Structure 1
């Protein structure tokens, strides 16, 4: 387990990427969401590993990318914040089914025990070329993740609907109170 690897997850359009950007601005190491990177690459290449075309292919690519992100971040010092994680990708396969080896990945590749979830927030939710989930689908995704993380032994911290600065302060305060705290880069 790498208790330095901190996950921001939750509802699509709930402010995860904005929060990640704020943490990056404060000098912390970050990894952007695998799903967004996959969608951008697939659209550019005319591919079909898109969540609205082939969810299974998309989720399997997200698993590969999440594992690669963890490996690349292994040598970085301090907290590393991930916009989504391996658990998100594995949970996306639940509706289409996954083999047992995929179901074991979140057990062997651990993150910090506290996972920060952004709840559904209709006032900021919007779709775009890379996020085509409707509101109801986004809420269902949040519910699925809120159930998946505890199944793998994580403690959920639901972030308030607040400014990005307040959310970042809350995340950092929560981590400062954890025995796994190892500090930050750029500080």
Structure 2
């Protein structure tokens, strides 16, 4: 699944802004599971919100991520994924919860490109919104959790520079082009 490119990191680090920018350039993308689940659950006053039922929230995000992965896998690449299945492991680590065997299995089965882009904490752009209630401290802890989760499954993290979104987009596209050139020389 080398054409599925994950962008991960803590809240308010510019992940979705970057993925939106790349989509504006014509690339396919996925929607962040947590944000989508919160939006849907709020719309129906559902129980699947982190502050109501953490376990249900994780299950809903897992279902969303698996469906997104399958849909994205059918698209020509690259497809930019606003988070991926290993983010759920990071979320569980962040919350101090055990990682269920089926979440581990999903993280091992539903694969992405080995290079994962990590948006680091960036205080100058950090803000909350209707779906994001996390504090700056939680953003820092989330960053640490993602730095722990992704390497568990064999991914290489590449930290995004703290630069305007267009520059971040060029950085990502250049890194992917470099990966392609390097794999051509190895093969």
Give the TM-score, by structure 2 length: 0.92
Deviations 1:135-170 (A, max 9, x none): 111110110001111111100000011000000000
Distance 2:164 2:50 in 1: 29
Distance 1:160 1:52 in 2: 32
Corresponding residue of 2:82: 83
Corresponding residue of 2:115: 114
Show structure 2 runs of 5+ residues with no match: 183-187
After TM superposition, the structure 1 = structure 2 runs for residues 28-67 of structure 1, keeping only pairs within 5 Å, are 28-67=27-66
Q: Which runs of 4+ in 1 moved over 3 A?
A: none
Distance 2:146 2:16 in 1: 17
Q: Does 2:76 align with 1:92? A: no
Show structure 1 runs of 5+ residues with no match: 182-187
Distance 1:12 1:89 in 2: 14
Per mean C-alpha deviation after superposition, the further-off stretch among 44-53 and 130-139 is 44-53
Residue 115 of structure 1: SS of its match in structure 2? strand
CA contact (8 A) 1:51 1:58 kept: yes
Aligned residues: 181
Give the CA RMSD over aligned residues.
1.6
Distance 1:160 1:118 in 2: 8
1:5 CA drift (Å) = 0.3
**Which has a greater percent of helix?**
2
Per mean C-alpha deviation after superposition, the further-off stretch among 48-57 and 133-142 is 48-57
1:93 CA drift (Å) = 2.6
Distance 2:28 2:179 in 1: 19
Give the TM-score, by structure 1 length: 0.92
Corresponding residue of 2:6: 7
1:117 CA drift (Å) = 0.6
1:79 CA drift (Å) = 0.4
